Amino acid sequence: MTRGAHAVDRTHQDDLPTEDVPAGGALPAGALPDDTRDGVPLAGTAPPDDAPADGPPVAGDLPVPDEAVGTDTAAPPLPGATAPAPAATAAAPADPGRGGRRNRRALRGPGLRERRRQQTRAAIVDAAAELFAERGFDAVSVVEIAQRAGVVEKTVFNHFPVKEGLVFEADPPMRAALLDAVRTRPAGESVTAAAGTFVVRAMSGLGAPEAAAGVAEMARIIRGSHTLQVREREILGQLTSALAELIAEETRAEPGELAPGLAAHAVLALYAALLELARDRVLAGVTGPELTAELRARGERGLALLQFGLAGYAKRR
C-alpha cells in the first residue's frame, strides 16, 4: 500500500463551536473539529468547513461501469483498489451574463478551503487503508487513524460518522447506476437482462491486473472483520430492496406480490457470487485476462439461468 497520508494545514476560526466526541463514537450533527490547544491552532487539522459531504467511493465500494450497459468498451472503475482520490467538487454551471464575481469564482473551481477539505479526507482514507491492511479493521481505533493522518479525532468523525464508512459508502454509486441500467433499458428487454448484464460487465472488470492488489487487500480486510461482513450484507440488502421497489413500481405489482423481490434477489445474488469468486481467485494469484474471462463466462452462465429459468437445471438423473 502506497502511503498517501500527510498532514494538512488548516485555517482556524475562533468563533466556531466545538463539542466532545460522545462515548459511542459518533458525533452530534454539525460537530466541528476542536482545532486548538491552549489557544494554539493544531497543525494538520482539516478546515473548519470539513463537515460530511458526498465524497468519492471509499475503499470497499461496489463497482460501477463508466459507460451505459450495452457498450463493449465500458471499463468499470476499480472497487476496493486502495484509497480513493480526494472528493472531487465540480464547478457549478454558471451563466456568464449573470452573477458577476460569484460566477467567475464558480468557473475557477473549488477554493483553497475546499481543496484543503479534500486533502484532509484523502489523508484520512489513506491512513485508514494502511492501518487496516497492517492490522485488520477491528484492531485499529479511530484515534490511531487520526494520528497517522495528522488530524484530530473529531475531524475523522466529521468526514466519516461511523468507522465502517472508511470502507463502505453509505449510499454506494452502484445503487444509482444499477437502477439507471434498469430504467434506461430498451423496449423488450427484461429487468434481469438489463441488471444482470450490468453486474456481469462490472464484475468482469475485477480481472484487470491493476485491480488485483486492491481486490486482494479488501478481501483480507473484509473477511477478517465480522463487523465489515455484516455491513457488506446490509448494503447488498439495501441494493436488493431498492431494485425490488423499482421493479414493483414499474410493473404496478400488487402489495405482497413475490415476483419483484425474487427478481431483485436473483440479480444481487449473482453480484455477490461473482464478487466472492473474484476475491477467491485473486487471493489464489489468478488475475488478468484469465480471471476476466472466468468472471465473464461464469457471470453469463448465471445470467442465462436468471433469464431463461431454472426448470432444466440440476435435474436428478
Tens digits of residue pLDDT in 258-296: 999 999 999 999 999 999 999 999 999 999 999 999 999
Render pLDDT for 118-162 as a digit per residue (tens, 0 to 9).
Answer: 999 999 999 999 999 999 999 999 999 999 999 999 999 999 999
Give percent above pLDDT 70 in the chain: 66
Q: Which of 12-21, 209-218, 281-290 has the lowest mean pLDDT?
A: 12-21
Q: Per the structure block, which three cell numbers stand in for 185?
A: 433499458
CA angle 233, 210, 217 (to 5 degrees): 40
User: Quick one: CA dihedral 58, 61, 63, 64, positive or negative?
Assistant: negative
Determine the pLDDT at residue 105. 56
Residue 212 reports pLDDT greater than 50 = yes
Pick the CATH number of 173-308 from 1.20.120, 3.40.91, 1.10.287, 1.10.357: 1.10.357
Q: Where are the alpha helices (DSSP H) in 136-258?
A: 142-149, 153-159, 173-183, 191-204, 209-223, 226-251
Report the candidate in 162, 172, 160, 166 with the shortest Cα–Cα distance to residue 51.
160
Model confidence at 54, pLDDT cuts 50, 70, 90, reads very low
Count Cβ atoms below 10 Å from residue 56 Cβ, excluding itself.
Answer: 17
User: Quick one: CA dihedral 240, 172, 197, 251, positive or negative?
Assistant: positive
Model confidence at 169, pLDDT cuts 50, 70, 90, reads confident
Determine the pLDDT at residue 314. 77
Average pLDDT over every residue of 88-113? 57
Determine the topology of domain 106-167 in CATH.
Arc Repressor Mutant, subunit A (1.10.10)
| Domain ranges across the chain | 106-167, 173-308
Determine the pLDDT at residue 312. 79
As beta bridge partners, residue 40 has 37
> H or E segment at 41?
strand 40-41
One-character DSSP codes across 179-209: HHHHHTPPTT--HHHHHHHHHHHHHHGGGSH
Model confidence at 223, pLDDT cuts 50, 70, 90, reads very high
